[in-house]
A and B are shown apart, each in its own frame.
Chain A
Amino acid sequence: MGSAPANAAGSKPEDRNSANTGTCNSSKASSLSAVNKPIISEAFAIDAVSQIDKPEHVLILRVWTTMTHQYPALTAELKKELQDIAQRIVAPGKGILAADESTGSMAKRLNPIGVENTEENRRRYRQLLFTADQRIDSCIGGVIFFHETLYQKTDDGTPFAQLIKDRGIVVGIKVDKGVVPLAGTNGETTTQGLDGLSERCAQYKKDGADFAKWRCVLKISETTPSQLAILENANVLARYASICQQNGIVPIVEPEILPDGDHDLKRCQYITEKVLAAVYKALSDHHVYLEGTLLKPNMVTPGHSCPTKFSGEEIAMATVTALRRTVPPAVTGVTFLSGGQSEEEASVNLNAINTCPLTKPWALTFSYGRALQASALNAWKGELSNEKSATEEFIKRAQANGLAALGKYKTSGSAGAAAKSLYVANHAY
């Protein structure tokens, strides 16, 4: 006796840490003798308890099902690989192109510009993004793919994944399977996709992907987010992250709090802090290696129908404050989602975040979908002759956001004046 208890799956944990192998460390030798059995697993604990009639034995059994031993989930090499991938994605001045719109979401993008939502049109559209010239190599660190797109090719037969990888940009893949309702809540959801996730990740890794994305959704209202919604989404994000890392894939953790509603900035900040605290507790509980993850949160903003207006600096201060209170410094990077923000808004806000005078131990950059593609889509309208100008629009936004990620973006529009305003001194964040 002295080896660590086996886990419920029956496999013995690696005994790297037990300097006390061979000894039963106990000052209460007599009472522990009853549990001096070779294997006590969590699965067996229930059965064992029913056979034991002395209360102190029941309580001691509970002691055995503790988590004070580390059963290393990742080797040193795997940890290094994950951290390197994460650092490459958020290298200074770089961010992520979120091109992982599902087929259904692409319909919402293509319909407004009068383009039919066919597989070919989706291929042609992603092509004009991925074939942008070398100017994007210094501002795009990673591209998130949708499953279909990962296996599509350029006109001359080059697989998209290879095209992106060959130019030194990291390939990512959306792996969740959409939201499903949480019964008994006020319309809240969790996200599905865990079934067979490990096998899928292994395949995606073979097919060129080095990171993944999984989106959970929470909303703010009088009664939401509920405790269940926060807990459940944090837990499912942690399971997803754990599985990804096992397969050499950096998980981007996305707990999006929707901007819908009339709540103010402070309310969003409060909720974002609660949600992120739950997320990082869950990641700790699930033994996720934080240095090999990225966070994709919402910026802290007022709700869309909030009557009060807030400056970029106020949004930046609220956002950075919330992150400083919840996101451990070990996390390699924070890549904001753009939500419903316009292209310019998303760049201006990201820039303000990077010029906020609080200490920020992680990279703060972008993982934008619409905020990188809106102008490109409008310029394209499905026309072959428009492809070049559409690509130019995309390059422009990519460069703008690359600068914003360094706090060097100078807006040309009226937002410039707002950018000069002072931080609100007495806003109690």
Chain B
Amino acid sequence: MTHQFPGLSPEQKKELSDIAQRIVAPGKGILAADESTGTMGKRLQKINVENTEENRRIFRDILFSSDPSIANSIGGVIFFHETLYQKSDSGKLFPQVVKEKGIVVGIKVDKGTAGLNGTDGETTTQGLDGLSERCAQYKKDGCDFAKWRCVLKISHGCPSALAIAENANVLARYASICQQNGLVPIVEPEILPDGDHDLQRCQYVTEKVLAAVYKALNDHHVYLEGTLLKPNMVTAGHSCTKKYTPEDVALATVTTLRRTVPGAVPGICFLSGGQSEEEASLNLNAMNQVPLHRPWKLTFSYGRALQASALAAWVGKVANKKAAQEAFCTRAKINGLASKGEYKPATPASQAAMQSLYTASYVY
């Protein structure tokens, strides 16, 4: 493999690189509005709204029709397939509504997880069949980036070597195919926060997973400058008894990324996992204040952490549209500030948390 058979022309590379830079422009991040039908069901059920196509359309319309100033904090929106072809109340297709605000349109392209036989409940992700043709069509229909989520978990025997290798490989295949079709691939190797493991364990596993991902991307000749990474933050497991500050999470996360993510990657857009809206903002803010050199943008790609308040304000009532939009805009603005390390929480208590020192004895 000592000869290069260029997969991309210089023009293609430039286009991909430009798209990626626009998405993670300073102060901007991603709204992950790509919840599948089933997942939207879970969100709507919580506010007692029926999971119909119209209700899903209405809620996304609320978000996308927010004040155009939202584009100061939102660089990209990830769509679910159904949503890409729905229209706003104004009659415009949603991609057009979003694009007119200067926001890049993205599309979830994976087809969910599938079991890895012989493992302890581990999975890979499917969706490679006909992916190239689907990407070409999505590009025509207004998309400029895509997202594919792989899932790993931490337990006594997980993640296994197979799970790590297989998910890294399928992410690389997906990324390669996207780039061929002018779509910037967001690479998402999510390590779930379930479990009672501590921060150090999550850091170790994340380092191993990301090292495998970037080796696979290299093996598959993926153009790193035209990709984005969507990882988990390094956190303790949900049932871990030890508590950590946002600074602990930030230092562990940035250390991990510095050890594994090449500087050529333009941006890292964290998933929020099970974090609350405020937690997700505080952690992102702390990331951007870590006194270590960070050659990539560190920003957000949040779903629940951007929409929870909006959903709660809406509760399915037309009259609440404005309030829902305000709630969304507020979180977007806060996360925009957090992506620059400039978020100053109002409450004194959280400010005190910001002042705390890194856990001195913690060996990263």
Cross-chain contact B118 with A326 (CB below 8 angstroms): no
**Docked pose: A69 CA to B200 CA in angstroms:** 10
B218 within 8 A of A: yes
Cross-chain contact A25 with B293 (CB below 8 angstroms): no
Q: Which residues of chain A from 328 to 381 have any CB-CB distance to chain B below 8 Å in the complex?
A: 328-330, 359-361
* Cβ contacts A212-225/B at 8 Å (1 or 0 each): 00000000111111
Cross-chain contact B262 with A327 (CB below 8 angstroms): yes
Chain B positions within 8 Å of A226 at CB level? 2
Instruction: Tell me which of A13-21, A295-303, A391-399 binds B.
Output: A13-21
Report B203 CB to chain A, min CB distance, Å. Answer: 8
Cross-chain contact A324 with B262 (CB below 8 angstroms): yes
A329 and B263 in contact, given A19-B196, A68-B205 (Cβ under 8 angstroms): yes
Report B142 CB to chain A, min CB distance, Å. Answer: 27
* Cβ contacts B215-230/A at 8 Å (1 or 0 each): 1001100001000000
B159 within 8 A of A: yes
B161 within 8 A of A: yes
Cross-chain contact B201 with A69 (CB below 8 angstroms): yes
A76 and B120 in contact, given A63-B157, A326-B262, A428-B10 (Cβ under 8 angstroms): no
A328 and B156 in contact, given A17-B200, A62-B118 (Cβ under 8 angstroms): no
Cross-chain contact B4 with A25 (CB below 8 angstroms): no
* Cβ contacts A130-161/B at 8 Å (1 or 0 each): 00000000000000000000000000000000
A290 within 8 A of B: yes
**Docked pose: A305 CA to B295 CA in angstroms:** 36
Partner of B218, one of A28, A225, A277, A285: A277
Report A49 CB to chain B, min CB distance, Å. Answer: 13
* Cβ contacts B194-207/A at 8 Å (1 or 0 each): 01111011001101
A330 and B156 in contact, given A27-B121, A66-B161, A76-B363 (Cβ under 8 angstroms): no
A187 within 8 A of B: no
Interface size class of A (residues with CB under 8 A): 35 or more
* Cβ contacts B139-176/A at 8 Å (1 or 0 each): 00000000000000011111111000000000000000
Chain A positions within 8 Å of B241 at CB level? 19
Instruction: Tell me which of B50-58, B77-85, B253-261 binds A.
Output: B253-261
A62 and B9 in contact, given A270-B4, A361-B293 (Cβ under 8 angstroms): no
Report B33 CB to chain A, min CB distance, Å. Answer: 31
A280 within 8 A of B: yes
Chain B positions within 8 Å of A326 at CB level? 218, 262
**Docked pose: A222 CA to B118 CA in angstroms:** 41
B243 within 8 A of A: no
Cross-chain contact A361 with B263 (CB below 8 angstroms): yes
A411 within 8 A of B: no
**Docked pose: A271 CA to B219 CA in angstroms:** 12
Residue on A with the closest CB to B207?
A284
Most B C-beta atoms less than 10 A away, residue of A59, A68, A70, A321: A68
How many residues on B have C-beta within 8 angstroms of the other chain's C-beta atoms? 56
**Docked pose: A270 CA to B158 CA in angstroms:** 34
A281 within 8 A of B: yes
A68 and B154 in contact, given A20-B196, A266-B4, A277-B215 (Cβ under 8 angstroms): yes
**Docked pose: A226 CA to B126 CA in angstroms:** 32
A67 and B208 in contact, given A324-B264, A428-B10 (Cβ under 8 angstroms): yes
Cross-chain contact A25 with B155 (CB below 8 angstroms): yes
* Cβ contacts A411-429/B at 8 Å (1 or 0 each): 0000000000000001110
Chain B positions within 8 Å of A427 at CB level? 10
Partner of B156, one of A26, A220, A271, A359: A26
Chain A positions within 8 Å of B260 at CB level? 284, 328
B1 within 8 A of A: yes
* Cβ contacts B56-86/A at 8 Å (1 or 0 each): 0000000000000000000000000000000
Cross-chain contact A273 with B218 (CB below 8 angstroms): yes
Report A218 CB to chain B, min CB distance, Å. Answer: 10
Cross-chain contact A16 with B118 (CB below 8 angstroms): no
A328 and B259 in contact, given A70-B204, A277-B218 (Cβ under 8 angstroms): yes
Chain B positions within 8 Å of A10 at CB level? none
Report A162 CB to chain B, min CB distance, Å. Answer: 33
Chain A positions within 8 Å of B262 at CB level? 324-328
Most B C-beta atoms less than 10 A away, residue of A25, A64, A75: A25
**Docked pose: A168 CA to B198 CA in angstroms:** 41
Chain B positions within 8 Å of A325 at CB level? 218, 224, 262, 264
Q: Which residues of chain A from 192 to 237 have any CB-CB distance to chain B below 8 Å in the complex?
A: 220-227
For the A-B complex with A27-B121, A62-B160, A226-B2 known, give 7 more contacts whose Cβ atoms are closer than 8 Å: A17-B201, A62-B118, A63-B157, A68-B208, A70-B200, A270-B4, A324-B262
Enumerate 6 A-B pairs (CB-CB under 8 Å) in ascending A order.
A62-B118, A68-B156, A270-B4, A328-B260, A360-B263, A428-B9
Instruction: Give me the interface of B with A, judged by CB distance under 8 Å.
Output: 1-4, 6, 8-10, 13, 118-121, 154-161, 195-198, 200-201, 204-205, 207-208, 211-212, 214-215, 218-219, 224, 237, 240-242, 255, 257-264, 293-295, 361, 363
